[in-house]
Amino acid sequence: MKYFIGNWKMFGIPKSINILNKINSYYLKDKNRKKYRVIITPPYTLLETYSKFFKKKRISIGSQNCYQKDKFSSDTSAISPYMIKKVGAEYTLVGHSDNRKEGDTDLMLKNKVTYALKNNLKVVFCIGENKIQKSKNKTLDVLKKQITKVLNKKLNKNNIIVAYEPIWSIGTGKIPTNKELEKITIHIKKILKGIFQNKSPAVLYGGSVDGNSIKNFKEIKEIDGFLIGGASKSSKKFIDIINNYYR
Ligand code: PEP
C-alpha cells in the first residue's frame, strides 16, 4: 500500500472541502486506487466537518499535531489525541519540523505518539535532518537518534508510518538525489526493523514533492509514499502527483 498524505498547514476554511471533493472524485475513478490511500491533514478547525463528510468515502482525515497528554487538562489551546479521535479523525502527524522548531522535544514526541496510539489514532511520525547536519554528514546519525528516542517495541507498529522529511527540502524545491534517498530510506527501515521484530512500518518521503519531482521519486521502490505540503492545497497539483506516480 502506498500513501499520499497532504499536509495543509495553516490553510483552509470550510468551503476548501471542494479541493478534497475533487481529489475524492479522481480517486473513485482511478483504476489504480486499490494501490494507495489518500490522507489529508487540514487545520484543527476543519477536522470535525471534514472527518464527518468523508467518513464513508475514501479520503482519510488527520490532524497536523496533537498535545502530549491523553484526554483533558488545563493547558490553554492544547488539543489532545482523545479530542482529535472524538471528532472523527483517523490520523495525526507527530514531530513535523515546524513543531520541532517550536520546541517539541523527544520526550514530548514520545508522549504524543504513545497517547495518539492509545486513542486509536494512526501516527505519521516525521523525522529529518537540517542543512547543517547534512553538510556535516550527520544525516544517518540524526535520523537514528530521532527514531530511537521516540519509538519502541511496545508501540503498535501497524498504526505507525514514518515520514522522512529533510528540513532543507521542505518548501524549497531542493530535493535529495535518488541515490541519497534510497540509502537513507533503507537506513531508516533497518533501524525500524531493529525496533519492531524485523518488520518496518511504511516509510514515506516529504519535501518539495510535486508533479515533476515525483517522476524521480517513483523510481525508488523502497519509498512507501509521500507527505506533500505546498502541492496538496491544489486538487490539480495533488492529482498530478498521483497520476504521474502511476503513469
Ligand atoms: C511539509 O511541510 O511537510 C512538506 C513536505 O512541504 P512541501 O511539500 O511544501 O515541501
The pLDDT value given to residue 236: 98
b/e per residue 67-98 (b: at least 16 CB within 10 A): bbeeeeeeeeeebbbbbbbebbbbbbbbbbbb
Q: Which of 196, 202, 136, 193 is nearest to 164 (CA)?
A: 202
Residues designated catalytic: 96, 165
Q: How confident is the model at residue 55 (pLDDT cuts 50, 70, 90)?
A: confident
Q: Domain locations in the chain?
A: 2-246
User: In degrees rounded to 5, what are phi and psi of residue 30?
Assistant: -75, 125
pLDDT digits (tens, 9 = 90+) for 163-211: 999 999 999 999 999 999 999 999 999 999 999 999 999 999 999 999 9
DSSP SS3 for 53: helix
CA distance 17 to 62: 14
57 pLDDT band, cuts 50/70/90, is confident
Indicate the burial class of 18 (C-beta count within 10 angstroms; 0-12, 13-18, 19 or more). exposed
Q: What percent of the chain has pLDDT over 90?
A: 98
pLDDT digits (tens, 9 = 90+) for 13-29: 999 999 999 999 999 99
From atom 6 of ligand 1, which residue's Cα is the shortest distance away? Answer: 229
Does the pLDDT of residue 133 top 90, yes or no?
A: yes
Instruction: Identify the residue whose cell numbers are 503498535.
Output: 156
| Ligand 1 pocket member 206 (CB < 6 A) | yes
> End-to-end distance of the chain based on CA atoms, in angstroms?
17
Please name the residue whose Cα sits nearest to atom 1 of ligand 1.
Answer: 229
Q: What is the mean pLDDT of residues 44-72?
A: 94
Q: Is 207 in the pocket of ligand 1 (CB under 6 A)?
A: yes
Ligand 1 atom nearest to 206, measured from its CA: 5
- pLDDT at site 2: 98
Q: Ligand 1 centroid to 166 CA: how many Å?
A: 10
Q: For ligand 1, what atom is nearest to the CA of residue 227?
A: 5
* Per-residue confidence (pLDDT) for residue 212, from 0 to 100: 97
pLDDT digits over 79-124, tens only?
999 999 999 999 999 999 999 999 999 999 999 999 999 999 999 9
Average pLDDT over residues 138-159: 98
What is the second-level CATH architecture of the domain 2-246?
Alpha-Beta Barrel (3.20)
